[in-house]
């Protein structure tokens, strides 16, 4: 993944993709710090910009216009992207804890995870109310609200709890969007909207002119405002206010005072009475100076401010500067947030109110002004990012150079390859002590032994099936890459009808201080070992070395009954060709390296690559598959020809029936293709062109090399439909019948109808 010989000396971990962290990523992309490994951890691939959320709800913006693509931004910032959720910290060990993966060490940690509405204090709110925050999860929930409203037979009643800026904007945006949609539904009634305020007025933190203007606007729009009506409980039928009054509602949205996630306090960080991390003027934790925090999750003890996106945005540049200073061993700089700020509050339609201090203005021109400001902000982290960056030769700064010097001295001076660039025994021993391979009775000498080779017992009457794969990291998350590499290697066994038994690993980890190499190797092998264990295979040994890029190879071994071994030959004319996974990983990751792929496309491709072919192989066998292969580096056409040529057969291939990963057609059409693609094009001579133009991009995907692709099998025609149905039921939603085996050679392209 574009590694370098500069050793990894320090780890910067960014938890959360909030408004402050996007500045940090851009700053390090513009001016890298050699020797620092950056990792962004976020449960969302696209982070929403809060300023455009009302416009997104109202339908004025599409998804991409209102979201920052963290996958692209992390690539620009030279950061690894871990698509995961943090559940805790070990502050003594300096480790970040995850829900279902190994911990991650850090030297400097920054937290920007936003906040949640405070629902846990109100009975029934967490169960029956839809929270506006975290914003990243609201989009899908809003689509569900739209669907329920459109399906309602009578008038739908929607209540919004909280009448601050967020509550007012969300209420008016939802009302506008639903009214627009319901115009196309004959006889539909406009939904009722109820806004509940615990204060005597809406927008209590704004001046009286703003409150007056929105009081008028809400009345004109027919929104029923309930002042001084603090909600005390929520049920499936509605809400109860502080006076005991019951308000029947079909939907409840929650936008009240922000609340913190629990894990920062549970870890031992100093927090305020609401659980927000207390930081000083440098944005450093009061209790742990190597931990910084910004945005809603942080409370500046000397300059308390309300939880608003404008403050998170302003904290971005000083956070980036102070993170850099801490990594270099320098004193951080103090930052004082502004007391007054411009507030632009939208009204659902393209109209807004502007306020600052004691004045307020309104009009369509205010919305246009707000729209211009928001679009310029988003452009900084998207279209305005430089396509390529030219940096001077990597030079370690003084603070990091000292660490590098100590590292080289401890290693005996220069890094050499005379020993095969092997990792130190200390690193290897520590990693292997933490790896728990599957225990198998037939493994006599394995990972725990100190012998020179592994030994395992071969069952009587079985045949051994063995394969090897080795490739560089397709993703920069070593744990996920380890899982992908293992699934990719095991697919060869599944394609032959064998049951996995054991594996040997060959790993390359980037140069770094021993603890950094240890962490990378542990994450890599942990991911691979998890997949191997689930497949019933034991990791029994291997070899490790250091280099410029992360890479992993696996030699996998399996057993099968001789008569059950699948070969590429054996298909018969009339058999249906079934492909179990969608195509497109080659072009998508070529585009990702060029920062031209959307993050959700890459997330979808990773999910596909992590889907094991084990269950698919069982389904194919149960439905009488006569021949099977896995689709990997040679692309669909290359592997299909291998299956057909064994018996001198041909095939009709229905291009429009090919399952394609989201985004792959777009990236292929843009010419973003894998480096192996031109070599795979040599198979084009076996094609018989389609009667009509199937689309150039679709045709290109026939040659797209796949990583951890699907199985391609020839299934008897009378069993193909049942086979396909069971594949869908077993978790292969993209499985499809893509063609038919023919008695004559060559592959004839058809538009559809395999």
- Can you tell me the distance from the alpha carbon of 616 to that of 518, in angstroms, rounded to the nearest whole number? 35
Which among 42, 416, 419, 460 is annotated as catalytic? 419
Q: How far apart are CA 160 and CA 167, in angstroms?
A: 6
d(CA 740, CA 753): 10
- How many Cα atoms within 13 Å fall on the side-chain side of residue 304? 4
**Other CB atoms within 10 Å distance of the CB of residue 342:** 12
Backbone angles phi, psi at 148, to 5 degrees: -65, -40
SS3 370: helix
Q: How many Cβ atoms from other residues are within 10 Å of residue 423's Cβ?
A: 22
Provide the 3-class DSSP secondary structure of residue 582: coil
* DSSP labels, 285-319: BSS-TTEEE-GGGEEETTS---S-HHHHHHHHHHH
Residue with tokens 């203007």: 213
> Are 581 and 488 contacting, i.e. CB atoms less than 8 angstroms apart?
no
Alpha carbons 503 and 528: distance in angstroms, whole number: 10
In this structure, the strands spanning 104-105 and 231-234 are unpaired
Closest among 302, 301, 334 to 319, alpha carbons compared: 334
Sheet of 499-510, strand order = 463-472, 551-560, 499-510, 538-547
CA distance 48 to 46: 6
Query: C-alpha 126: how far from its chain's center?
Result: 26
Sign of CA dihedral 624, 630, 635, 639: negative
> Torsion angle of alpha carbons 16, 21, 25, 26, nearest 10°?
150
Does the active-site annotation cover 419? yes
What letter would DSSP give residue 19?
Answer: H
From the list 295, 300, 304, the residue with the least C-alpha distance to 270 is 300
Measured CA to CA, the distance from residue 470 to residue 554 in angstroms comes to 6
Q: Report which DSSP code applies to 547.
A: E
Q: Which residues are catalytic?
A: 419
């Amino acid at each position: 993944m574009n590694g370098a010989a500069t050793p990894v000396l320090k780890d910067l971990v960014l938890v959360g993709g909030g408004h402050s962290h996007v500045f940090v990523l851009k700053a390090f992309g513009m001016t890298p710090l050699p020797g620092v490994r950056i990792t962004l951890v976020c449960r969302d691939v696209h982070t929403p910009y809060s300023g455009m959320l009302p416009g997104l709800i109202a339908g004025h913006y599409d998804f991409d216009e209102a979201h920052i693509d963290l996958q692209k931004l992390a690539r620009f910032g030279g950061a690894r992207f871990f698509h995961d959720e943090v559940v805790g910290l070990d502050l003594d060990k300096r480790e970040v804890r995850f829900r279902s993966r190994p911990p991650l060490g850090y030297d400097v940690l920054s937290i920007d995870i936003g906040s949640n509405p405070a629902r846990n204090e109100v009975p029934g709110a967490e169960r029956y109310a839809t929270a506006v925050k975290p914003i990243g999860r609201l989009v899908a929930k809003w689509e569900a609200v739209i669907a329920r409203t459109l399906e309602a037979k009578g008038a739908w009643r929607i209540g919004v709890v909280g009448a601050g800026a967020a509550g007012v904007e969300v209420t008016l945006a939802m009302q506008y969007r639903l009214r627009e949609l319901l115009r196309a539904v004959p006889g539909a009634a406009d939904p009722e909207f109820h806004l509940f305020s615990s204060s005597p007025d809406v927008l209590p933190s704004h001046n009286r002119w703003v409150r007056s203007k929105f009081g008028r606007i809400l009345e004109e729009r027919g929104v029923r405002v309930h002042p001084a009506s603090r909600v005390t409980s929520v049920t499936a039928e509605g809400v109860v206010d502080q006076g005991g009054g019951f308000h029947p509602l079909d939907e409840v949205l929650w936008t009240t005072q922000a609340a913190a996630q629990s894990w920062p306090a549970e870890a031992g960080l100093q927090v305020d009475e609401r659980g927000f991390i207390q930081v000083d003027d440098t944005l450093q934790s009061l209790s742990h100076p190597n931990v910084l925090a910004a945005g809603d999750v942080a409370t500046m003890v000397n300059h308390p401010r309300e939880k608003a996106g404008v403050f998170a945005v302003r904290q971005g540049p000083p956070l980036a500067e102070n993170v850099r200073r801490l990594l270099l061993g320098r004193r951080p700089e103090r930052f004082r947030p502004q007391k007054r700020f411009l507030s632009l509050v939208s009204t659902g339609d393209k109209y807004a109110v502007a306020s600052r201090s004691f004045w307020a203005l309104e009009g369509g021109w205010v919305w246009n002004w707000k729209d211009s400001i928001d679009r310029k902000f988003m452009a900084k982290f998207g279209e305005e990012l430089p396509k390529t960056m030219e940096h001077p030769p990597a030079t370690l700064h003084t603070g990091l150079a000292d660490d590098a010097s100590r590292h080289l001295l401890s290693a005996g001076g220069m890094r050499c390859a005379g020993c095969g660039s092997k990792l130190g025994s200390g690193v290897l021993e520590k990693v292997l002590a933490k790896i728990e391979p599957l225990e198998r009775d037939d493994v006599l000498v394995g990972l725990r032994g100190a012998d020179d080779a592994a030994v395992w017992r071969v069952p009587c009457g079985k045949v051994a099936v063995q394969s090897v794969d080795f490739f560089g990291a397709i993703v920069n998350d070593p744990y996920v890459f380890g899982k992908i590499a293992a699934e990719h290697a095991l697919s060869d066994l599944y394609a032959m009808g064998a049951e996995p038994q054991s594996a040997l690993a060959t790993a390359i980890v980037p140069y770094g201080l021993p603890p950094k190499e240890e962490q990378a190797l542990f994450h890599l092998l942990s991911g691979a070992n998890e997949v191997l264990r689930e497949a019933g295979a034991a990791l029994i040994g291997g070899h490790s070395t250091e280099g410029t890029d992360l890479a992993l190879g696996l030699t996998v071994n399996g057993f099968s009954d001789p008569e059950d071994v699948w070969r590429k030959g054996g298909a018969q004319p009339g058999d249906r060709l079934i492909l179990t996974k969608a195509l497109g990983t080659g072009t998508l990751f070529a585009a990702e390296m060029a920062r031209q792929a959307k993050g959700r496309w890459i997330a979808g491709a990773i999910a596909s690559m992590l889907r094991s072919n084990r269950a698919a192989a069982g389904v194919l066998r149960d439905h009488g598959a006569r021949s099977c292969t896995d689709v990997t580096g040679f692309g669909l056409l290359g592997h299909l020809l291998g299956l057909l040529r064994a018996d001198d057969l041909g095939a009709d291939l229905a291009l429009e029936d090919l399952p394609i990963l989201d985004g792959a057609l777009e990236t292929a059409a843009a010419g973003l293709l894998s480096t192996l693609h031109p070599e795979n094009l040599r198979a084009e001579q076996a094609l018989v062109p389609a009667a009509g133009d199937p689309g150039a991009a679709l045709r290109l995907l026939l040659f797209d090399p796949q990583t951890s692709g699907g199985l391609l099998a020839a299934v008897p025609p009378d069993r193909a439909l049942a086979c396909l149905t069971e594949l869908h039921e077993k978790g292969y939603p993209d499985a499809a019948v893509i063609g038919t085996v023919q008695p004559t050679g060559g592959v004839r392209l058809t538009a559809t109808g395999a």
